[in-house]
């Protein structure tokens, strides 16, 4: 190799090395390795292969200048050739040059494929017959990782002079390509290690989300649906070219960061007691205590019957009429049944409980007495009265605090992790989905201008998923139009970001989500004019 060529090749190798270390996409990386090898060797064509888990060579990118052929890689044209086994019956596959090179870890430099006697070149001949091409010089370089495992093969075809005359791959050219192959193997291994670590990390985030969803039969799927809806929101907002969010953009790495936050947004619920998380009725603890109330009512009815039967017996002995006593008893028994039915209905959480109904619960508790173990007591305990009087949902204020505490735990857990630079906003994004734009949310009471746009996106996603969820025991599945109406009022009350909500409606993100995750019975026609606070784009 003359000094001019050596100097030029060295500079080229240095530049290629820098390029290889920068490339983050494995497909592009493989293609860059091949194109760089072609340039350094001035070869007419080449192919780069990866090694599959079952020891087969997979075509990644195929190039040939004479045939104007470019397949695989980033070309968008799939390579139609099947994978090539490295071994046949446990022996190196000598029917394919690349397979043999990989199986034996040998560099193979052939001057003329048609004159080659040591290797079966029938595949190259068949290809030439179909294309009119003439394969002559061939250089095949196996590539191994740091653990000496075969990870790929680089094959170049027909080295050329500057006048396009086909020549052998000279020893100095082979040396350069081997050096490139070593650099490429390092870059490819690093990329694969990074990809493997990212895949493992993503799997762990989904594992945590699945564990949270599995904790409760009533919120199963929430941790899976929220990140999906959040990313739908992100795509819609990035597509905006008008309005307040027209300049907002997210790169792929930013979207990945938001997706990770979505999967981990409720990780703190791992510390929330199931007895609170799964409280499907107001009286539920380990079991639904409405059954105890039923038993007490039955005891009270028996006591009342016994009392009246004694009075009836006494009246009969004295020859007095008993009609009024029997009617009075029947009225009291019907009152018990009526109160029991009312308490059963009150035990089911709802969106609102009237003050008069709350008062009736308290009155029933005092009105009926029951004797247990010789002691007379009110029909309902003070704790049962408090639970049955819950105005919305099934949780007492102190239980709501326990649920809300999951956000503090989420933030603490995520902030304790040494996230790399491109994921350092995950705690902020995940920790803000219960904040409100007016500062009345939790856990930090942040206001709109204290929250990032992605964090505000997740807040909308979390709310909409909860509103549309069909697996909540304390409420029936809502229609799409009803959910949007509620969110419209939340916009007016400054609980959710108004601009993001407009995008949510403008871009029909709600409909995309509905078709993917909601029951068809929930998807009704939405009259945008009836959504509180929503103004069409042409009227803003």
User: Percentage of residues in the chain with pLDDT exceeding 90?
Assistant: 59
The per-residue pLDDT for 216 is: 73
Running DSSP on this structure, what letter comes out for residue 242? S
Q: Do domains 3-195 and 216-272+398-539 have the same CATH topology?
A: no
Work out the mean pLDDT of the chain and round it to a whole number.
90
pLDDT bucket at 471, cuts 50 / 70 / 90: confident
Has residue 153 got a pLDDT over 80? yes
Question: The tokens of 492 are what?
Answer: 């007016």
Q: What is the CATH number of domain 3-195?
A: 3.30.450.40
Higher per-residue pLDDT: 416 or 275: 416
Cis amide linkage into residue 67, ω under 30° from 0: no
Has residue 370 got a pLDDT over 90? no
pLDDT bucket at 237, cuts 50 / 70 / 90: very high
Q: Is the sign of the CA dihedral 139, 60, 202, 458 positive or negative?
A: positive
Has residue 473 got a pLDDT over 70? no
β strands within 38-118, DSSP E:
43-51, 56-64, 69-72, 84-85, 87-88, 91-92, 108-110
Has residue 81 got a pLDDT over 80? yes
The per-residue pLDDT for 64 is: 96
Alpha helices for 105-161 (secondary structure H): 122-131
pLDDT digits (tens, 9 = 90+) for 4-60: 456 676 777 777 777 777 777 888 888 999 999 999 999 999 999 999 999 999 999
The per-residue pLDDT for 6 is: 64
Higher per-residue pLDDT: 387 or 140: 140
| CATH architecture for residues 216-272+398-539 | Orthogonal Bundle (1.10)
Running DSSP on this structure, what letter comes out for residue 113? G
- Residue range 349-370: mean pLDDT, rounded: 89
- Residue range 342-355: mean pLDDT, rounded: 87
The per-residue pLDDT for 2 is: 47
Higher per-residue pLDDT: 77 or 289: 77
The per-residue pLDDT for 261 is: 97
The per-residue pLDDT for 3 is: 47
Q: Which of 131-145, 373-387, 455-469 has the lowest mean pLDDT?
A: 373-387
The per-residue pLDDT for 118 is: 80
CB atoms under 10 Å from CB of 403, counted, come to: 16
Give kind and range of the element (H or E) at residue 316: helix 290-317
- Residue range 109-137: mean pLDDT, rounded: 89
pLDDT bucket at 235, cuts 50 / 70 / 90: very high
Q: Which of 177, 138, 183 shows the shortest CA–CA distance to 157?
A: 138
The per-residue pLDDT for 1 is: 46
pLDDT digits (tens, 9 = 90+) for 485-526: 999 999 999 999 999 999 999 999 999 999 999 999 999 999
CA–CA gap between residue 62 and residue 70 (Å, rounded):
6
CA–CA gap between residue 103 and residue 322 (Å, rounded):
104
pLDDT bucket at 217, cuts 50 / 70 / 90: low
Angle (CA) 82 85 88, round 5°? 135
3-state helix, strand, coil in the chain (%, to 5): 55, 10, 30
The per-residue pLDDT for 286 is: 66
pLDDT digits (tens, 9 = 90+) for 162-175: 899 999 999 999 99
pLDDT digits (tens, 9 = 90+) for 321-333: 888 889 998 999 9
The per-residue pLDDT for 78 is: 95
Domain residue ranges of the chain, discontinuous segments joined by +: 3-195, 216-272+398-539, 290-394
Q: 3-22 and 26-41 are packed helices; what angle lies between their axes, rounded to 10 degrees?
A: 170
Q: Residue 402: which region, alpha, beta or left (left: phi > 0; alpha: psi -120 to 50)?
A: alpha
Angle (CA) 53 56 62, round 5°? 115
pLDDT digits (tens, 9 = 90+) for 400-455: 888 778 889 999 999 999 999 999 999 999 999 999 999 999 999 999 999 999 99
């Amino acid at each position: 190799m003359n000094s001019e060529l050596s100097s030029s090749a060295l500079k080229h190798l240095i530049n290629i090395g820098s390029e290889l270390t920068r490339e983050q996409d494995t497909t592009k990386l493989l293609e860059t390795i091949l194109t760089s090898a072609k340039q350094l060797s001035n070869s007419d064509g080449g192919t780069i292969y990866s090694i599959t888990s079952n020891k087969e060579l997979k075509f990644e990118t195929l190039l040939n200048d004479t045939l104007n052929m470019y397949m695989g890689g980033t070309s968008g044209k799939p390579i139609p050739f099947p994978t090539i086994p490295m071994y046949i019956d446990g022996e190196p596959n000598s029917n394919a040059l690349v397979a043999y090179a990989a199986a034996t870890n040998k560099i193979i430099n052939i001057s003329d494929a048609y004159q080659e006697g040591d290797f079966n070149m029938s595949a190259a001949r068949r290809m030439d017959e179909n294309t009119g091409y003439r394969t002559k010089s061939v250089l095949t370089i196996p590539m191994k990782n740091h653990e000496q495992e075969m990870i790929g093969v680089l094959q170049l075809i027909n080295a050329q002079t500057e006048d396009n005359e086909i020549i052998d791959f000279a020893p100095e050219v082979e040396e350069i390509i081997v050096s490139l192959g070593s650099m490429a193997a390092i870059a490819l291994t690093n990329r694969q290690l990074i990809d493997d670590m990212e895949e493992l990390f993503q799997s762990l985030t989904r594992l945590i989300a699945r564990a949270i969803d599995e904790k409760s039969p009533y919120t199963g799927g929430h941790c899976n649906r929220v990140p999906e809806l959040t990313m739908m929101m992100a795509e819609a907002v990035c597509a905006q070219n008008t309005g307040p969010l027209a300049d907002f953009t997210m790169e792929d790495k930013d979207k990945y960061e938001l997706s990770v936050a979505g999967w981990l947004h409720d990780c703190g619920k791992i510390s929330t007691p199931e007895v609170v998380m799964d409280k499907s009725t107001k009286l539920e603890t380990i079991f639904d205590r409405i059954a105890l109330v039923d038993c007490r009512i039955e005891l009270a009815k028996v006591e009342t019957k016994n009392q009246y039967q004694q009075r009836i017996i006494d009246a009969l002995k004295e020859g007095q009429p008993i009609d009024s006593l029997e009617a009075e008893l029947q009225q009291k028994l019907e009152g018990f049944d009526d109160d029991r039915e009312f308490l059963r209905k009150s035990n089911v959480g709802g969106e609102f409980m009237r003050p008069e109904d709350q008062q009736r619960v308290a009155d029933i508790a005092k009105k009926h007495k029951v004797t247990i173990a010789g002691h007379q007591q009110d029909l309902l305990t003070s704790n049962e009265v408090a639970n049955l009087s819950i105005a919305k949902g099934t949780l007492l204020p102190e239980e709501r605090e326990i649920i809300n505490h999951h956000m503090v735990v989420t933030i603490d857990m995520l902030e304790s992790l040494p996230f790399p630079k491109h994921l350092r906003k995950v705690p902020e994004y995940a920790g803000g989905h219960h904040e409100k734009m007016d500062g009345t949310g939790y856990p930090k009471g942040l206001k709109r201008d204290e929250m990032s746009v992605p964090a505000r996106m997740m807040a909308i996603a979390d709310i909409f998923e909860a509103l549309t969820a069909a697996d909540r025991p304390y409420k029936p599945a809502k229609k799409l139009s009803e959910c949007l109406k509620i969110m419209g009022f939340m916009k007016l009350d400054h609980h959710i970001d108004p601009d993001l909500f407009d995008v949510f409606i403008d871009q029909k993100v709600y409909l995309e989500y509905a078709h993917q995750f909601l029951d068809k019975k929930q998807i009704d026609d939405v009259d945008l004019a009836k959504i509180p606070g929503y103004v069409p784009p042409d009227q803003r």
